[in-house]
Amino acid sequence: MQGDYALGSKLGGKRVGIIGLGNIGSLIAKRLDAFGCIISYNSRRLKDSVPYRYYPDVRALAAESDVLVVACALNKETRRIVTGDVLDALGRDGVLINIGRGANVDEPELVRALQDGRIAGAGLDVFEDEPNLPAELLSMDNVVLTPHSAVCTSESRSDLREHTLANLEAFFSGKPLLTPVLP
């Protein structure tokens, strides 16, 4: 192998902000903690059971993060929770990772932030209008795209089946759904 290779950056010591410290966000935090990352989070409420710093404001979380991971559900409160202001707070060296829902991020603002160098890069597994995505993202060297495939494992399919059955059971017994779907 020959050529010029870009220098990377070690994961240990990075400040990682997680939007959505539910099941998936908690598992991400646990893994990043093992690498020596400094974890902070934003969630619907403070979780006394975790040792991580809580930020009630997403912009403040982004300002204290090197990497911002979006792992929240999509609802009225989280639609476009990552705005241009949040991306500006993340800063020129910041990286956005979205494995939540595409509509959690203001995609046109993300494209502009990447083009203008307002953030360093993005890793995106979800998009607002799947399977379509902004064409500009396809030609950017500072973006890694995957086709909503983070969930494509046999284990996750089994978990999805169990979760669907639990939602059906809740629905037919008049209990609140575990994961209601927005129209």
pLDDT score, position 4: 73
pLDDT of residue 1 exceeding 60, the answer is no
Using only C-alpha atoms, the chain has a radius of gyration, in whole angstroms, of: 17
User: What pTM value is reported for the model?
Assistant: 0.84
Return the closest-CA partner of residue 105 out of 142, 62, 140. 62
- Which tens digit of pLDDT belongs to each residue from 92-131? 999 999 999 999 999 999 999 999 999 999 999 999 998 8
Closest CA to 72 of 41, 40, 49: 41
Q: How far apart are CA 128 and CA 147, in angstroms?
A: 12
Q: Which DSSP category does 129 fall into?
A: B
Convert the pLDDT of each residue in 10-51 to its tens digit. 899 999 999 999 999 999 999 999 999 999 999 999 999 999
Domain range list for the chain: 15-151, 153-183
Q: Has 101 been annotated as catalytic? A: yes
Q: Which of 31, 130, 157, 169 is catalytic?
A: 130
148 flagged as catalytic: yes
Q: Each residue of 53-67: pLDDT tens digit?
A: 999 999 999 999 999
DSSP 46: -
Is 77 noted as a catalytic residue in this protein? no
DSSP 75-120: STTTTT-B-HHHHHHH-TT-EEEE-S-GGGB-HHHHHHHHHTTSSS
The CATH code for residues 15-151 is 3.40.50.720
